[in-house]
């Protein structure tokens, strides 16, 4: 617009596009589907861009009683996986006119202070990882529309849950290692109390226990490389058959296993095969590259946000778990004869 001209209004857009103001509101509010044609919606959007029209979001949100803000609660900000979850969730939210505030629960678990004067007044909904669920009570997030990620569907706090098919991931790992001929296993298990880690442990034990002649040791460990190294060294010192395969709850733990194995003068995978979960960048940086279960973090965040948007609109979210995939690389091989 020319300098000094007035700011264009929705009436100006409607007049230029040859439609009603109601149609303009539907299109720019992303509620046009099934009410106006796609060609009309595109004409309205194009006209609004040409005129430089910007809706008064603050006034509209005040009328609707909504802030168009979502809180994503995660255990930590330093994990590549949760960065991917945020990326997927924020991308879909932005496409629907919502912003996403990312909030980590201190120490990964436990209560957290309310980051707002009043979360229920400042937010439209919450998307939360089960590992950060304890933070919800403190911020009163459980009083808002809530969707849980990686959470037991039978005991979830949320109106809906979105899960990766992590049980199938554990089965894929077990079957891969059994097919290679491994029978003596070490499960390097995260010491974080979480539904997702419980599922992994249960499925791994069930699959291995169904095959005669197998043994399984479990070594709890902090979610750190050095913690994993120490837990692995202690487990390898125990009496009985030495494990020929180590199954880790995530890729970072696998890096600690590599260090422990090499300190013992052993080699991966010649002496001990190693697997992880996540398929973060570290998996391909290790030598040899790590066999791991690929979790599509961005797709996970996107599905979670889609479920929350459905809840906000009074719809039932789509059911079903998100598939995972075992990526076989150089860290697994048949055990020595």
Q: At 245, is the secondary structure helix, strand, or coil?
A: strand
If pLDDT is split at 50, 70 and 90, which confidence band does 55 have? Answer: low
- Report the pLDDT value the prediction gives residue 119, as an integer from 0 to 100: 52
Is pLDDT larger for residue 289 or for residue 54? 289
pLDDT digits (tens, 9 = 90+) for 161-184: 999 999 999 999 999 999 999 999
Residue 151 has pLDDT above 60, yes or no: yes
If pLDDT is split at 50, 70 and 90, which confidence band does 220 have? Answer: very high
Of residues 232, 223, 226, 224, the one with CA closest to residue 192 = 223
Q: Is-cis flag, bond preceding 211, omega within 30?
A: no
Average pLDDT rounded to a whole number, residues 210-227: 95
- Report the pLDDT value the prediction gives residue 62, as an integer from 0 to 100: 38
Q: Is-cis flag, bond preceding 96, omega within 30?
A: no
- Report the pLDDT value the prediction gives residue 139, as an integer from 0 to 100: 63
User: How big, in percent rounded to 5, are the helix, strand and coil portions of the chain?
Assistant: 45, 15, 40
- C-alpha span between 13 and 303 (Å, rounded): 34
DSSP 65-91: T---EEEEEES-SS-HHHHHHHHHHHH
Residue 75 has pLDDT above 90, yes or no: no
If pLDDT is split at 50, 70 and 90, which confidence band does 114 have? Answer: low
DSSP 8-state class, residue 321: P
Residue 142 has pLDDT above 70, yes or no: no
pLDDT digits (tens, 9 = 90+) for 260-292: 999 999 999 999 999 999 999 999 999 999 999
- C-alpha span between 148 and 164 (Å, rounded): 12
Contacts of 288 (CB under 8 A, 6+ apart): 268, 269, 329, 330, 331
Contacts of 117 (CB under 8 A, 6+ apart): none
Most confident of the following: 110-114, 133-137, 166-170: 166-170
User: Nearest 5°: phi and psi at 260?
Assistant: -65, -45
If pLDDT is split at 50, 70 and 90, which confidence band does 2 have? Answer: very low
If pLDDT is split at 50, 70 and 90, which confidence band does 140 have? Answer: low
Average pLDDT rounded to a whole number, residues 106-129: 63
For the chain, the average pLDDT equals 86
Residue 178: how many CB atoms within 10 A of its CB? 17
> Residue 108 — left, alpha, or beta (φ > 0 → left; ψ -120 to 50 → alpha)?
left
pLDDT digits (tens, 9 = 90+) for 179-216: 999 999 999 999 988 889 999 999 999 999 999 999 99
Strand partners, 106: none
- C-alpha span between 282 and 181 (Å, rounded): 27
Residue 130 has pLDDT above 80, yes or no: no
Q: Contact 147/159 with Cβ under 8 angstroms? A: yes
- C-alpha span between 160 and 128 (Å, rounded): 11
Is pLDDT larger for residue 252 or for residue 63? 252
Is pLDDT larger for residue 189 or for residue 51? 189
Residue 137 has pLDDT above 70, yes or no: no
Contacts of 41 (CB under 8 A, 6+ apart): 27, 32
Strand partners, 162: 149
Strands 215-221 and 125-129: unpaired
pLDDT digits (tens, 9 = 90+) for 76-100: 777 899 999 999 999 999 998 899 9
Domains of the chain (ranges, CATH numbers): 10-55 (1.10.260.40), 66-163+297-312 (3.40.50.2300), 166-294 (3.40.50.2300)
- Report the pLDDT value the prediction gives residue 7, as an integer from 0 to 100: 73
Average pLDDT rounded to a whole number, residues 306-311: 93
């Amino acid at each position: 617009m020319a300098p000094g001209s007035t700011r264009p209004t929705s009436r100006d857009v409607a007049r230029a596009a040859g439609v009603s103001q109601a149609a303009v509101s539907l299109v720019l509010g992303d509620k046009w589907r099934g009410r106006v044609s796609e060609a009309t919606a595109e004409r309205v959007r194009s006209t609004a861009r040409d005129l430089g029209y910007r809706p008064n979001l603050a006034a509209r949100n005040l009328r609707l009683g909504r802030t168009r803000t979502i809180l994503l609660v995660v255990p930590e900000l330093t994990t590549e996986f949760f960065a991917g979850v945020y990326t997927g969730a924020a991308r879909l939210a932005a496409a629907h006119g919502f912003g996403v505030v990312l909030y980590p629960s201190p120490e990964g678990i436990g209560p957290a202070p309310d980051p707002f004067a009043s979360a229920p007044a400042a937010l439209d909904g919450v998307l939360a990882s089960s590992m950060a669920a304890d933070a919800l009570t403190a911020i009163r997030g459980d009083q808002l529309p809530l969707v849980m990620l990686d959470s037991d569907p039978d005991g979830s706090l949320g109106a809906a849950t979105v899960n990766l098919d992590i049980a199938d991931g554990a089965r894929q790992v077990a079957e891969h290692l059994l097919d290679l001929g491994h029978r003596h296993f070490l499960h390097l298990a995260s010491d974080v109390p979480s539904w997702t880690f419980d599922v992994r442990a249960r499925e791994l034990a069930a699959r291995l226990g169904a095959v005669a002649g197998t043994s399984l040791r479990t070594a709890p460990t902090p979610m750190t490389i050095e913690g994993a190294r120490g837990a692995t060294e202690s487990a390898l010192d125990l009496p009985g058959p030495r494990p020929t395969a180590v199954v880790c709850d995530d890729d970072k733990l696998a890096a600690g296993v590599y260090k422990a194995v090499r300190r013992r003068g052993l080699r991966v995978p010649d002496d001990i095969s190693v697997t992880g979960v996540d398929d973060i960048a570290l998996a391909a940086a290790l030598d040899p590259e790590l066999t791991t279960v690929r979790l599509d973090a961005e797709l996970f965040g996107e599905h979670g946000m889609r479920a929350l948007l459905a809840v906000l609109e009074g719809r039932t979210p789509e059911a079903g778990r998100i598939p995972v995939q075992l990526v076989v690389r150089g860290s697994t091989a048949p055990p020595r004869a």
